[in-house]
Chains A and B, each alone.
Chain A
Amino acid sequence: MRQDSLFNLALYFGGFVAAMIMVIMFGILFKGSVLSIKNFGIHFFFGEEWNPPMEKFGLLPFVVGTILTSILALSLSLPFAISLAVFLGIYCSRGIVSNILRHLSDLLAGIPSVVYGFWGLFFLVPIVRNLEIKLGIMPFGVGIFTASITLAIMIIPYMSSMIVELIKMVPRELVEAGYSLGATSFDVVRKIVFPYIKSGVISGIILAFGRAFGETMAVTMVIGNVNSVPKSIFSPANTMASIIANEFPEASSGLYLSSIVYIGLWLFVITFIVNLLGNLIIRKFRVGENES
């Protein structure tokens, strides 16, 4: 009996540690940002200027950069990810080609962010630069546009594998019932499969958004590293994650360091909320699915 209660204690300890990880992380981020919070408060979010020498710090340029790249990346990737998922899940769900494509997609989902950034720097940036020259604008090559495309390419395999999994969860009887009633595959997808997995897809989109939001390496390498609010889609910019990567190693003054940690805190809170939402939705979906 003593062994049992000791074991139970160990289990509770494990659960406690797991919970404490998040609490401690929040605590450290909060403690590190206190100085900046006292100084700027909530106005930090809307501050347009990031000026370390003058000790003026504002988040807006990076919030805009982050939101622009994330939303753009998501919008670019969604049609492709869904098509790929429909292709692999419905039209070509068995056979050698399907297996190869699925393995390929998994491999691409596993390629590290820094390698994507490297690839983007050498293959995407010159292409975008040529485009900018043709359009007659500053031939940066780097900027929001390039970063969004790179992000989109990273998200596609991830999202399409997720959607393929969801498609597989649709009970075969429903699909076959549809076919037996004379539906075309388009009808099946539109009226049976998608409504069934709708909340799962929404959850997937939210989670992918969260991932794009916090993506650091690939973005840092191709976004141009400029600390002002981007004016156009081809402007160079910075995201909340990339400014931290750039300036954390040398933020030395109390307020400077505190402001950077404050950005980290914001990132933490935003991705926390986004992931919470995504997870809750998919949990409801799974529960609903199990019940049926």
Chain B
Amino acid sequence: MVIIKKQEVKMMRKRFLSLIIVVIIFGLLPLKAEIELVGAGATFPYPLYSKMFAEYYKQYGVKVNYQAIGSGGGIRQLMARTVDFGASDAYVDDKGIKKFPAPIVHIPIVAGAVVIIYNLPIDSHLKLSPEVLADIFLGRIRKWNDEKIRKLNPDIELPNKDIVVIHRSDGSGTTFIFSDYLCKVSSEWQKKVGRGKVLNWPVGLGAKGNPGVAGLVRQIPGAIGYVELIYAKSNDIPFASVKNKKGNFIVPSLESVTLAADVPLPDDMRVSLTNTDSKYGYPIAGFTWILVYKDLANCGMSREKAKALVDLLWWMVHNGQKYATLMHYAPLSEKAQRKAEVIIKSIEFEGEALIK
């Protein structure tokens, strides 16, 4: 028979209580000391943001917890005010802005390229035209050695393989940029599928995040997909050169994206860069933004935290830009930077500007 003695019970109770107190103190202590910002959103700039936030923490001691759950997720969580900032490569249109409980602003950080990756034993860049791209993703062109592809690439030996389309399964700004482009160059695409972060894809497999698409394309022979440039480069996945509006086949790069970003910029910086008029600009490019509430008091933060957030944003569009070039993202042009500064300065806390 086991009957615990009275003294033992008392001692166990004391030990247990003290353990709980220690854990609580331990856990809540950092609450006072460090500022931690929570953000969520696009996978498009994730490699860059990881680097930026790690460097920012080293220099300023502010922790930024960024989870790449997709642009759609970033927008949604900002709407629900469960995060301090959202990140998206799809800007929120006027209809969407009304859904937010309070006004928001878009701060552009960098511009990137949506590149077409494929799994073929080809060394050089495959040449693709807008019509062919639309046909492939509509499911009209099903084999790699189709006439239309061969015509564009006379000196490449194309295999008699099925084209396996890979698209995003989650709400993606990268999808938005790509579909925005396809809408502009293909009326059939515009009618049948449209533009958006989540689409009713006619063909293909879904993968989660830019990493997921890159992963699947790497594994499936004959696959084709769309990812941000850095994902193709860091995984040595071959990508295509795309014919732009002026008829030139452009290889996506920092330079060609910078050219594409040279467009008239609206004050709120919500602009699309696809199907650029620039002669040597890459046609499938886009800005990526960080979204915050205009008045940060709306987001349940303290003034201290709001200031930290605004300081982070200021840094990202100034000192942080040097990391962009390292990772083949196009840094903001001077014009864009000016506009971004104005937007950041307009961010308030309880009606008072945070950066003067």
Q: Is there any pair of Cβ atoms, one from A and one from B, under 8 angstroms apart in the complex?
A: yes
Interface residues of A (CB under 8 A from B): 49-54, 125-126, 129, 138-142, 224-227, 236, 238, 246-247, 249-253
| Complex-state Cα separation, A49 to B70, whole angstroms | 23
Contact of B169 with A125 in the complex, beta carbons under 8 Å? no
| Complex-state Cα separation, A227 to B199, whole angstroms | 10
Interface string of B187-231 (1 = CB under 8 A from A): 000000010111111001111100000001001111000000000
The 9 closest A-B pairs by CB, nearest first: A250-B72, A225-B206, A250-B171, A225-B169, A249-B73, A53-B196, A250-B73, A51-B200, A252-B76
> Known: A139-B164, A140-B164, A141-B219. Contact between A250 and B205, CB under 8 A?
no
Contact of A224 with B206 in the complex, beta carbons under 8 Å? yes
| Complex-state Cα separation, A93 to B59, whole angstroms | 64
Contact of B199 with A53 in the complex, beta carbons under 8 Å? yes
| Complex-state Cα separation, A226 to B207, whole angstroms | 9
A247 CB contact (under 8 Å) in B162, B198, B216: B198
| Complex-state Cα separation, A226 to B99, whole angstroms | 28
Interface string of B158-189 (1 = CB under 8 A from A): 00001010000111000000000000000000
* Shortest beta-carbon distance from B230 to chain A in Å: 22
Tell me which residues across on chain B come within 8 A of A139, comparing CB atoms: 162, 164, 220-222
A250-B70, A251-B76 are known contacts; what are 14 more A-B pairs with Cβ within 8 Å? A52-B196, A53-B196, A53-B200, A139-B220, A139-B221, A140-B220, A225-B169, A225-B206, A225-B208, A226-B206, A236-B206, A238-B206, A246-B170, A246-B208
> Known: A140-B220, A249-B73, A250-B76. Contact between A53 and B198, CB under 8 A?
yes
- Can you report 30 residue pairs joining A to B where beta carbons are below 8 Å apart? A51-B200, A53-B200, A54-B200, A125-B219, A129-B219, A138-B162, A138-B164, A139-B162, A139-B220, A139-B221, A139-B222, A140-B164, A141-B220, A142-B205, A225-B169, A225-B206, A225-B208, A227-B200, A236-B206, A246-B206, A246-B208, A249-B69, A249-B73, A249-B170, A250-B70, A250-B72, A250-B75, A250-B76, A252-B72, A252-B96
Contact of B198 with A250 in the complex, beta carbons under 8 Å? yes
Contact of B205 with A249 in the complex, beta carbons under 8 Å? no
Tell me which residues across on chain B come within 8 A of A51, comparing CB atoms: 200
Contact of B79 with A252 in the complex, beta carbons under 8 Å? yes
* Shortest beta-carbon distance from A145 to chain B in Å: 14
A126 CB contact (under 8 Å) in B169, B208, B219, B222: B219
The size of the chain B interface, using a CB distance under 8 A, is 34
In the complex, B77 has a CB within 8 A of chain A? yes
| Complex-state Cα separation, A126 to B162, whole angstroms | 17
| Complex-state Cα separation, A249 to B194, whole angstroms | 22
* Shortest beta-carbon distance from B211 to chain A in Å: 13
Contact of A252 with B170 in the complex, beta carbons under 8 Å? no
- Measured CB to CB, the nearest residue on chain A to B194 is A53
* Shortest beta-carbon distance from B118 to chain A in Å: 14
- Measured CB to CB, the nearest residue on chain A to B172 is A250
B205 CB contact (under 8 Å) in A53, A226, A246, A252: A226
| Complex-state Cα separation, A122 to B64, whole angstroms | 32
B170 CB contact (under 8 Å) in A50, A53, A140, A250: A250
| Complex-state Cα separation, A251 to B164, whole angstroms | 27
Contact of B220 with A253 in the complex, beta carbons under 8 Å? no
Tell me which residues across on chain A come within 8 A of B205, comparing CB atoms: 140, 142, 224-226, 236
Contact of A249 with B222 in the complex, beta carbons under 8 Å? no
- Measured CB to CB, the nearest residue on chain B to A254 is B99
| Complex-state Cα separation, A257 to B258, whole angstroms | 37
> Known: A125-B219, A126-B219. Contact between A253 and B206, CB under 8 A?
no
> Known: A139-B222, A252-B72, A252-B76. Contact between A247 and B199, CB under 8 A?
no
Tell me which residues across on chain A come within 8 A of B219, comparing CB atoms: 125-126, 129, 141
| Complex-state Cα separation, A130 to B344, whole angstroms | 53
| Complex-state Cα separation, A182 to B219, whole angstroms | 58
Tell me which residues across on chain A come within 8 A of B221, comparing CB atoms: 139
Contact of A253 with B75 in the complex, beta carbons under 8 Å? no
* Shortest beta-carbon distance from B64 to chain A in Å: 19
Tell me which residues across on chain B come within 8 A of A140, comparing CB atoms: 164, 205, 220
| Complex-state Cα separation, A138 to B221, whole angstroms | 10
* Shortest beta-carbon distance from B193 to chain A in Å: 8
Contact of B171 with A247 in the complex, beta carbons under 8 Å? yes
Tell me which residues across on chain B come within 8 A of A224, comparing CB atoms: 205-206
Tell me which residues across on chain A come within 8 A of B170, comparing CB atoms: 246-247, 249-250
Tell me which residues across on chain A come within 8 A of B76, comparing CB atoms: 249-252
* Shortest beta-carbon distance from B245 to chain A in Å: 25
- Measured CB to CB, the nearest residue on chain B to A142 is B205
| Complex-state Cα separation, A54 to B206, whole angstroms | 19
Tell me which residues across on chain A come within 8 A of B206, comparing CB atoms: 224-227, 236, 238, 246
- Measured CB to CB, the nearest residue on chain A to B69 is A249
A249 CB contact (under 8 Å) in B77, B196, B204, B207: B77
* Shortest beta-carbon distance from B159 to chain A in Å: 13
| Complex-state Cα separation, A23 to B320, whole angstroms | 50
- Measured CB to CB, the nearest residue on chain A to B195 is A53
B75 CB contact (under 8 Å) in A52, A246, A252: A252
Contact of B220 with A246 in the complex, beta carbons under 8 Å? no
* Shortest beta-carbon distance from A254 to chain B in Å: 8
Q: Which of B69, B164, B199, B205 has the most CB of A within 10 A?
A: B205
Tell me which residues across on chain A come within 8 A of B194, comparing CB atoms: 53-54
Tell me which residues across on chain B come within 8 A of A125, comparing CB atoms: 219
| Complex-state Cα separation, A249 to B162, whole angstroms | 33
* Shortest beta-carbon distance from B166 to chain A in Å: 10
Tell me which residues across on chain A come within 8 A of B204, comparing CB atoms: 226
| Complex-state Cα separation, A234 to B79, whole angstroms | 39
